[in-house]
Chains A and B, each alone.
Chain A
Amino acid sequence: MRDVFIASDNIITSLGFTTIENANIMLDGNTGICLVEDKLIAPFPFYASIIDSVKLNSQFSCIADPYHFSRFEKMSICSIKDAISGMDIDYADPRTLFILSTTKGNIDLLESENKNKYGKDRIYLWNTARLIQHFFNFSNEPVVISNACISGVQAIITGTRLINAGIYDNVIINGTDIVSEFVISGFNSFKSLSTGPCRPFDKTRDGLSLGEGSGTIILTSKPSLSKSKEKILVGEGFTTNDANHISGPSRTGEGLFLAINRLLKKIPAEIDFISAHGTATPYNDEMESIAITRAELQSVPVNSFKGYWGHTLGAAGIIESVMSVYSLRNNVLINTLGYHEMGLTNPLAIIDRVIRKEINNCLKIASGFGGCNAAIIFCKK
């Protein structure tokens, strides 16, 4: 089985357009979540993390004419462009694959005023992926992964397996989702939206804040391609199903526990920190704490990044993995913004301030609608 390394990455959120821009603002303790009053998105005000359209268009116009591309496509292309810049990879090589992770893609094109903007087929996820593939001249039919909120972690697990198996040498993974009328109305109908910026694991948490974002991670079998001196390995990963409920997290944390437990059996080392899903809904955070406790990891430092950029759905697993890898490379644990007081029946070691210390590996977990769960490990070589 071949080792898989992280060659390059990028994060685009309301906080910034590169991984470092995002990290610097997070280390300063700032959030991108704010009150949004936009009647085009919802008839009610809501808290979300939204990328500034003027900034997006101005960044994108350095690459191509923004007029021809949707909001989703602009975010995705900007993110990939930054990640691949300066990389010595032949993208037309059939040994390179492009994977797109998204829950809803160009979903705003279903709105009546956008319906005919780019042609009727632009709504299909495979078509969006192909447009991006052609834009960069990537070879191979792109692969689209759409598995609710675990899509991003699932895409990294899938890409890693394909390189492990020797089917591809490089896998470029982009995860993107936008904040739209569609998702705001849906999560609101579930009464899942927070009344302020979300507060993961906190006693007073009352729901999630949605966010939009795009993240790119480039996996490779060749360690020499890594842009950073510190080589990060992508370890094993597993996905599971709760087989319990399609929208409610399992009360026993069964699926997430199984995924973590399978992974722990394969790695001898102790886990240094956990990057949790931590959406800040009462049930999700409680479920995660049960699964982590069942796996006997309750004393391992754990954080959630959702307080900085909200829940970015299909991008979440990518941008949160990229930020976890940033933590490994820089030996810094980033605090859980919005967390003040323990609000879990199984208390966890929530990271509540920035801590600088030597860390060697990270467990990233995610859970989503459809009862799906994922766990993957990143470690220093």
Chain B
Amino acid sequence: MKKSLIVSSFCSVTKKEVTLNNKVIYKGSGNDFSDLSNDIYTKFSIGYPKFHKMDNLSKLGFLSVELLLSDKNLNLKYPGEEIGVIFMNSASSLDSDRHHQDTLSNRENYFPSPSIFVYTLPNVVIGEICIRHKFYGEGNFFVAEKFNTDFLVSYIEELFECNAIQCCIAGWVEFDGDDFESLVFLIEKPDKTDIGIVNFETDIIRNIYEKLK
């Protein structure tokens, strides 16, 4: 039987709290994402000025991965082209799409902006994370109504199986209107010394996600 991949670390960001490997590392004080994201950025000393130019979806994905990798240095362990980033969500880039559409609705006040338009593609969050961490490997952004763990797990297993990647950051990064949530995983092959926190298996991933609710 083939050995299951392992989750070396996982991080969630919701309105309520931020958790890293099941431990609460931040308690949210309000519902506003702008306050929450700035607060996390400051509290965890992220120090990456480009963060402030990102749209909400990118900020959410970026912060989640910053915290996920806070005590890791993947670049020492893997070449950049062996590290993949695979995300899924329900609303695609709809938050920025609505923002861009608002700049067009009035012909007397028509001011489309490249700095908004560039974020009207959901995979740009993957680009932001790759730039920050020098990851050059496989990327993919899937859109599904709900977090489709069956599909995501089997697709990522195949990426490891065909040696497209040696390491993967993957998960659910959703931003729609006033609602947002993220759950990201660091996935690696098991070795003698590292058996991870949990196995990367559909039921386990689904259970972790359902506990967020």
Contacts and interface: CB of A to CB of B under 8 A. Distances in A.
Interface of A: 1, 43, 103-105, 107, 110-112, 123-127, 129-130, 141, 143-148, 154, 158, 161-162, 164-165, 167, 181-182, 185-190, 238-247, 254-255, 258, 262, 368-372
B197 to A, nearest CB: 26
Contacts of A262: 81
A145 B142 contact: yes
Interface of B: 80-81, 85, 90-92, 94, 97-98, 100-101, 103-105, 107, 110, 112-114, 117-118, 120-128, 130-131, 133-145, 148, 151, 154-155, 157-159, 161-162, 164
Contacts of A189: 112-114, 117
Contacts of B97: 104, 107, 110, 182
Given A186-B117, A189-B117, A370-B127, A124 B91 contact: yes
B140 A158 contact: yes
B81 A240 contact: yes
B130 to A, nearest CB: 4
Contacts of B117: 185-187, 189-190
Contacts of B144: 126, 141, 143-144
17 contacts: A141-B144, A144-B144, A145-B140, A145-B141, A146-B142, A148-B121, A148-B123, A164-B158, A165-B158, A182-B104, A186-B114, A186-B117, A189-B114, A243-B135, A255-B136, A370-B124, A371-B127
B98 A110 contact: yes
Contact of B123 (A124, A126, A370): A370
Given A43-B107, A158-B140, A370-B121, A241 B92 contact: no
A147 B143 contact: no
A247 B114 contact: yes
A103 B154 CA distance: 24
Contacts of A144: 142-144
B122 A146 contact: yes
Contacts of B133: 243
B123 A372 contact: yes
Contacts of A369: 118, 121, 123-124, 127
A161 B154 CA distance: 11
Contacts of A181: 104
A147 B158 contact: no
A186 B100 contact: yes
Given A182-B101, A185-B103, A369-B123, 8 more contacts: A124-B90, A125-B92, A126-B90, A129-B143, A143-B151, A146-B123, A181-B104, A241-B136
B139 A239 contact: yes
Nearest to A187: B117
A246 B118 contact: yes
B105 A112 contact: yes
A246 B143 contact: no
A179 to B, nearest CB: 14
Given A126-B90, A241-B136, A244-B131, A161 B123 contact: no
A165 to B, nearest CB: 4
B142 A239 contact: no
A124 B103 CA distance: 20
A145 B139 CA distance: 11
B118 A123 contact: no
Contact of A147 (B100, B103, B141): B141
Contacts of B81: 240, 258, 262
B126 A370 contact: yes
B131 A123 contact: no
A240 to B, nearest CB: 5
A372 B139 contact: yes
Contacts of A239: 138-140
Contacts of B139: 147, 239-241, 370, 372
B145 A127 contact: yes
Nearest to B118: A247
Shortest beta-carbon contacts, A-B, top 7: A370-B127, A186-B117, A144-B143, A241-B130, A185-B112, A243-B130, A189-B112
A262 to B, nearest CB: 8
Nearest to A140: B151
